[in-house]
A = this chain, B = another copy of it.
C-alpha cells in the first residue's frame, strides 16, 4: 500500500529537470500533511522509497548521515536510485557498490580526506556503471533552497568559467536584468524523497537538530516526501517548550523511525563521533578490492545482521562507547 502510493509519486525525470509548479503543488496537495503520529519501523520506512526514485540524503560527509536507512534500503534490494547530497562519503560507496543507486549528484565524493580517493566510486564511475554529476557545494545548497522555496531556480555567482559549469547545461548562464552582470541560474532540486537523521523529534515529525545543520532544512522543505530517523522520539510537549529549536516542521515529514546510533559508523553531533576503527577497516577492505572487498562488507555488515542493533554489535561496544564519550565532549568547556 505504501509501496503503491510511493510508486505513484515516482518521477523518472532526467536529473536537473525542474518540476513545474503545477506538479510540485499537486504532489504536496496529495500528501497527508495533518498533525498525525507517523512512527514506523525501519523496514516500513524503506517501503516509502521505490526503485528509480530521486533521493536526497541529509547530513554531510561523515556527519548525521542517515546510515541506518541507507543500510535498510540496500537490504530491501532497492535499485536505480538517483541520489543527491552536498558531500558524499562511505554512504555513496555503499549505494553504488550494492547497486541500490546508479547516479549521484554532489560536490565531492570519496570516503574522507584521510583516505584519498574512493576506489569504489572510481570503479563504478570510470567503468560507466554509475554516474556522478558534479556541482559546486554552494550550487547544491541553492538547488535544495530553490526547491524548498517553491521557485524553479536561484541565481549564484560561482561555477562560472569552470569546467564544472560546462558539464552542467542544466544550469543556465544569465545576464541580470537589474545590473547586467553575468549570473548562473541553478535549477531547483526537489527529490522524490529525503532521508534525514536528527538528534530528536516527536511522533509527528517536529525535528530539533543540534549543532551543524548542513542543508537539511532546505532539503526537508524541498523534498516531495521526508523520512526522518532520530536518535530518540520525544514528546510533543517537549518540542513545544522550545519551538525556536525546531528545525523541520511536522508537515514536511511522512515517516519517523527511532534508531539510536542511526548514523553509525558516522557521527551524530553531540551524541557520538565517527567510529574510526570500523571505518578504517571498511576503507582498507573496499579500497583494497572495490568489488570483492565491497561484496564481503555488504555480506558481513549489511545483509548479514538480523537488525540494526546486531550491526551495531558488530561495530562493538568498545568503539561505540568511545565514540559516544567523544561525541558528548563537544559540550565540555
Taking the complex as formed, is A14 at the interface, i.e. its CB lies under 8 A from any CB of chain B?
A: no
Taking the complex as formed, is A241 at the interface, i.e. its CB lies under 8 A from any CB of chain B?
A: yes
Taking the complex as formed, is A18 at the interface, i.e. its CB lies under 8 A from any CB of chain B?
A: yes
Taking the complex as formed, is A262 at the interface, i.e. its CB lies under 8 A from any CB of chain B?
A: no
Taking the complex as formed, is A234 at the interface, i.e. its CB lies under 8 A from any CB of chain B?
A: no
| Closest-CB distance, A51 to chain B (whole angstroms) | 27
Partner of A20 from B153, B179, B212, B213 at Cβ < 8 Å = B179
Q: How many copies does the complex hold?
A: 2
Partner of A155 from B151, B157, B172 at Cβ < 8 Å = B151
Give A181 to B21 CA distance when docked, in angstroms: 8
Contact between A152 and B181, CB atoms less than 8 A apart: yes
Partner of A151 from B183, B188, B211, B333 at Cβ < 8 Å = B183
Contact between A178 and B187, CB atoms less than 8 A apart: yes
Contact between A178 and B157, CB atoms less than 8 A apart: no
Give A150 to B244 CA distance when docked, in angstroms: 27
Give A287 to B210 CA distance when docked, in angstroms: 48
Chain A at the B interface: SS class: loop
Contact between B152 and A178, CB atoms less than 8 A apart: yes
Contact between A176 and B153, CB atoms less than 8 A apart: yes
Taking the complex as formed, is A154 at the interface, i.e. its CB lies under 8 A from any CB of chain B?
A: yes
Taken residue by residue from 167 to 187, chain A's Cβ proximity to chain B (1 for < 8 Å, 0 otherwise) reads as 000001010111101010101
Contact between A179 and B152, CB atoms less than 8 A apart: yes
Taken residue by residue from 5 to 49, chain A's Cβ proximity to chain B (1 for < 8 Å, 0 otherwise) reads as 000000000000010110000000000000000000000000000
Interface size on A, residues (CB 8 A): 29
* Closest Cβ neighbor of A146 among chain B residues: B155
Contact between B179 and A18, CB atoms less than 8 A apart: yes
A155, A179, A244 interface centre (most CB from chain B within 10 Å) = A179
| Closest-CB distance, A119 to chain B (whole angstroms) | 36
* Closest Cβ neighbor of A150 among chain B residues: B157
In the complex, which residues of chain B have a beta carbon less than 8 angstroms from the beta carbon of A20? 179, 181
Give A155 to B244 CA distance when docked, in angstroms: 27
Taking the complex as formed, is A315 at the interface, i.e. its CB lies under 8 A from any CB of chain B?
A: no
Give A178 to B244 CA distance when docked, in angstroms: 35
In the complex, which residues of chain B have a beta carbon less than 8 angstroms from the beta carbon of A188? 178
Instruction: Enumerate 15 A-B pairs (CB-CB under 8 Å) in ascending A order.
Output: A18-B178, A20-B179, A21-B157, A21-B179, A151-B154, A151-B155, A151-B157, A152-B179, A153-B155, A153-B176, A154-B154, A154-B155, A172-B177, A177-B185, A178-B188
